[in-house]
Structure 1
Amino acid sequence: MKQFDLVIIGFGKAGKTLAKTAARQGKKVAVIEQSNKMYGGTCINIGCIPSKVLVHDGELNKSFVDAFERKSEVVGALNKKNYNTLATDENIEVVDGKAKFKSNYEVEVFDDNDKLLDTYTSKNIVINTGASPVIPDIEGVKTSKRLYDSTGIMNLSEQPKRLVIIGGGYIALEFASMFNNLGTDVTVLERSDILMPKEDEEIRNAAINDLTEAGINFVTEAESEKFEDTEDHTIVHTNKGTFEADAVLLAIGRKPNVDLGLENTDIELTDRKEIKVDEHLRTTREGIYAVGDVKGGMQFTYISLDDFRIVKDDLYGDKERTTENRGAVPYTVFIDPPLSRVGMTAKEAKEASKEIKEGKLPVNSIPRHKINNDPRGLFKAVVDAETNEVLGATLYGKESEEMINIVKLAIDQKISYEVLRDNIYTHPTMTESLNDLFNVKE
């Protein structure tokens, strides 16, 4: 049995950052990771970074082979860098193996053959095991040779001519846009009658229209019933007919990785099988925390990074930072062009009984769109008519993933919309469009 000041299960963003921070303070830290392909966590290895490399290269009209080769190079370099950052620290031990709780403060580590390697104990343990794709219980799902999750689809050796995507959420739409730009025929099968239901209706319709014009086939109210392999393709049987595919992506959601022997502890799960935490990310057992996707909520690497700040503050600080005071959370759907959002839509603000002003700006009225050679998109902003504070914005267009962060700052700092409206921005940029976007009207 090995005793540590801090044991972290999982090499994700929150865990690795906390490990390095604790090590700098002289703490002895163990970081347990079951796969050497996951040093650095989901974002670096199988999530944000590889998928955005493919998105970027697809927009540049690079070939499938070139894009996938560069993706592998980028992932490999970041994986190695992250491992070395921790493994070369004299206060950190990186442990390869599967972690299982023996008791509240004892974690056993097993190899691939379920052989016990060692036991690690600490009064402070952080669970950072992430989430994995949900696999639907559909006939043929276990036997078809052409079905992939979001990880597998990014490791194809050959480009599929036809890709069918089961699910129409944000991850599904990103992959649809990416593969479409790389030259694959894409069909998206969505169970509900609408895509991106939480987004501003006008912008949502504009985005779906652009994706449709780009060649993506959307089928709503589609129930997938069976996967049938033939010699050279897979047939997807649905209530809306059959669809032939060279590859099928299953993208219907993700579930937390909680196969950790939690039954041997006092750690409780929510009804959604996520690890239950309070606003300080403490579990139901003192000294044990859960961070990142395993605790549920928004599954973004920057949320995981902020989880690190909360746990760091709780362990080594003044315990004031919580999930309740981290401010507005922006996000971007990396379709082509990207759709970025923070705060409320006009509909949500009105439902909250707020008097509002709205700003609206087509991208084709922004001078920079001529340089980008892309007139697609629409920007919208919402302002509180009584306080003049910014309530939210939805930006659909090139470079919106950068601009949305400025709006987030304005919301958090309760800055009057007039500051964004009257600020001096560089020219010619997309950001200078905030001058016009926030020239709001009642």
Structure 2
Amino acid sequence: MNKYTTDVAIIGFGKAGKTLAGALAKKGQSVIIIEESTEMYGGTCINVGCLPTKSLTHSAKIIEQLSAFGIERTAETNKRFFKQAMDYKTELVTKLNKKNYHKVADLDNATVLDGFAHFKDDHTLLVDTETETLQVTAAKIVIGTGSTAFIPEIENSQSSQHIYTSEEILELTDLPQKLGIIGAGPIGLEFASYFAEFGSEVTVYQFDDSFLSREDTDDAKAVLDRLEELGVTFEFNAQAKSVEDTNTGVRLTVEQNGGVKMAELNEILVATGRIPNTSKLDVEKASVVLGERGEIKVNKNLQSSVEHIWAVGDVKGGPQFTYISLDDYRIVLPQLLGQESNYNLETRRVYPTATFVDPTFARVGLNEKEATEAGKNYKAAKMSVSSVPKAQVLRETSGFLKVLVEVETDFILGARFFSHEAHEMINLIALAINENISYKNLRDGIYTHPTMSEALNDLLEMI
């Protein structure tokens, strides 16, 4: 058995893991980073998450905009466009995967091992490769194994050739005429939006009657109305029970409002959430404690129940975003270097989120429902995107801009932007919240024209 000894061992080549490995190696520490799949250098976001899906979102939008110029789209042209978009996505992912590998592997003090890592004890990992088992002994260990798709119990789903997770569906080469999506969460909605724009007939099946249940009712309705405008059909209170492959695809059976109905589809995407990827790590051999959903329980410094073992990214539970993984790196790095830092989960800044439907729905801070529950005295302003000059220029007039301001302080409590470029604009609001910048500073800001951001002049003038 080949044996390695290192200062830090990192399990998982995701955003936090790769960034930690690079920073530590440059500081002179020896680092071994272990990745089970050579197709996952860089993590979920680069390979099967944020970047490939946003590439498809952009491609779908280009295609959808053709109709504004009277260009006819047929089933054949839709299929050709989809194939070209998928080819570009694959080219992009391949390039980024390779780039991420070399950003770590080419560093002095850094070693990349390809294989599946699991614990032997709290300082020792066994790495199963294609040809042998390696042993890695480390003073400190970081677990960054990410998350995996959760698949509910649906009869025959394991044997069907037409059931996909959000990762697997990215390998489709043929555009499905009829696509069923189980789950109306952010992942399901994003796929629904761009597959509809590619030309698929999309139906979303939600097990209850909820839709963006955290959001204010009027905001959620605006998103739902827009998706329906794009051609997405929603079936609420529809519990998927079984599937059966057919000559043309797959038959889905659902229970809905006390009855049973069936749908003939070409493909089905199961988008019912993700769970921490810990099931085969043998963490009990290192005395690492897991939570109810299999997440690694951590303290505010991201230390597990074992002080020299940390967990970063999706595997620790909580928000599943690549930029949260990056922020986890900021918390853990000083500890690995023996430096003092006051930054931790308790002092973490407010962060925005974005769901990339068309247009993007972006949020940060409190909405009206949350502000009321928190007892905040606030004023709200809301305006239609159609009143923004740049939106008219771009023919992107769907949606709204909404902001909440605390009366006593003039500080922004939160915002919900459902608009073109919302994912960019929301970062400015997050900065204002974190730095206690008065809404008046944004209201009176001088913005380039014509841009979407200059809408802040008019929106905040309404406070």
Judge same fold: TM > 0.5, yes or no: yes
Residues of 2 paired with 1:46 and 1:254: CA distance?
13
Q: Is the 1:176–1:186 Cα contact (8 Å) retained in structure 2?
A: yes
Residues of 2 paired with 1:440 and 1:348: CA distance?
21
Per-residue deviation, 1:207: 1.1
Per-residue deviation, 1:311: 0.2
Question: Residue 73 of structure 1 corresponds to which residue in structure 2?
Answer: 91
Question: Residue 111 of structure 1 corresponds to which residue in structure 2?
Answer: 129
Matched residue SS, 1:109? strand
Residues of 2 paired with 1:196 and 1:93: CA distance?
43
Question: Residue 242 of structure 1 corresponds to which residue in structure 2?
Answer: 262
Q: Does residue 1:181 correspond to 2:197, yes or no?
A: yes
Per-residue deviation, residues 200-258 of structure 1 (Å, max 9, x unmatched):
22121111101101110001110111101112220100113111111100100101110
Question: Residue 72 of structure 2 corresponds to which residue in structure 1?
Answer: none
Q: Does residue 1:8 correspond to 2:31, yes or no?
A: no
Question: Residue 242 of structure 2 corresponds to which residue in structure 1?
Answer: 226
Question: Residue 178 of structure 2 corresponds to which residue in structure 1?
Answer: 162
Q: Is the 2:20–2:333 Cα contact (8 Å) retained in structure 1?
A: yes
Q: Is the 1:342–1:392 Cα contact (8 Å) retained in structure 2?
A: yes
Per-residue deviation, residues 308-349 of structure 1 (Å, max 9, x unmatched):
000012222313110111211101000001100000001110
Q: Is the 2:215–2:369 Cα contact (8 Å) retained in structure 1?
A: no
Give the letter aligned to residue 132 of structure 1: T
Residues of 2 paired with 1:225 and 1:271: CA distance?
25
Residues of 1 paired with 2:150 and 2:263: CA distance?
22
After TM superposition, the structure 1 = structure 2 runs for residues 214-363 of structure 1, keeping only pairs within 5 Å, are 214-240=230-256, 241-258=261-278, 259-316=280-337, 317-363=339-385
From 202, 211, 214, the counterpart of 1:198: 214
Identity %: 43
After TM superposition, the structure 1 = structure 2 runs for residues 362-381 of structure 1, keeping only pairs within 5 Å, are 362-381=384-403
Per-residue deviation, 1:90: 2.0
Per-residue deviation, residues 55-96 of structure 1 (Å, max 9, x unmatched):
000000071011100000000000000011111112110000
Give the letter aligned to residue 37 of structure 1: E
Give the letter aligned to residue 34 of structure 1: E
Matched residue SS, 2:454? helix
Residues of 2 paired with 1:398 and 1:138: CA distance?
37
Residues of 2 paired with 1:429 and 1:209: CA distance?
25
Give the letter aligned to residue 345 of structure 2: T
Per-residue deviation, 1:359: 1.1
Q: Is the 1:107–1:120 Cα contact (8 Å) retained in structure 2?
A: yes
Give the letter aligned to residue 121 of structure 1: T
Q: Is the 1:102–1:264 Cα contact (8 Å) retained in structure 2?
A: yes
Q: Does residue 1:83 correspond to 2:101, yes or no?
A: yes
Question: Residue 48 of structure 1 corresponds to which residue in structure 2?
Answer: 50
Give the letter aligned to residue 151 of structure 2: I
Residues paired across the two proteins, number: 439
Q: Is the 2:276–2:293 Cα contact (8 Å) retained in structure 1?
A: no
Per-residue deviation, 1:374: 1.6
Matched residue SS, 2:451? coil
Matched residue SS, 1:171? helix
Residues of 2 paired with 1:286 and 1:210: CA distance?
49
Give the letter aligned to residue 82 of structure 2: F
Give the letter aligned to residue 27 of structure 1: Q
Matched residue SS, 1:239? strand
Per-residue deviation, 1:143: 1.2
Residues of 2 paired with 1:440 and 1:274: CA distance?
44
Q: Is the 1:14–1:308 Cα contact (8 Å) retained in structure 2?
A: yes
Q: Is the 1:313–1:320 Cα contact (8 Å) retained in structure 2?
A: no
Give the letter aligned to residue 307 of structure 2: E
Per-residue deviation, residues 414-437 of structure 1 (Å, max 9, x unmatched):
111111111111110000011111
Residues of 2 paired with 1:4 and 1:123: CA distance?
7
CA RMSD of aligned residues (A): 1.0
Question: Residue 151 of structure 2 corresponds to which residue in structure 1?
Answer: 135
Residues of 2 paired with 1:111 and 1:19: CA distance?
20
Give the letter aligned to residue 124 of structure 2: E
Q: Does residue 1:213 correspond to 2:229, yes or no?
A: yes
Q: Is the 2:183–2:271 Cα contact (8 Å) retained in structure 1?
A: yes
Question: Residue 75 of structure 2 corresponds to which residue in structure 1?
Answer: none
Moved over 6 A (4+): none
Give the letter aligned to residue 145 of structure 1: Q
Q: Is the 1:180–1:186 Cα contact (8 Å) retained in structure 2?
A: yes
Per-residue deviation, 1:118: 1.1
Q: Is the 1:357–1:440 Cα contact (8 Å) retained in structure 2?
A: no
Gaps of 5+ in 1: none
Matched residue SS, 1:78? helix
Matched residue SS, 1:22? helix
Q: Does residue 1:97 correspond to 2:119, yes or no?
A: no
Give the letter aligned to residue 84 of structure 1: H
Q: TM-score, normalised by structure 1?
A: 0.98
Question: Residue 396 of structure 1 corresponds to which residue in structure 2?
Answer: 418
Per-residue deviation, 1:354: 0.8
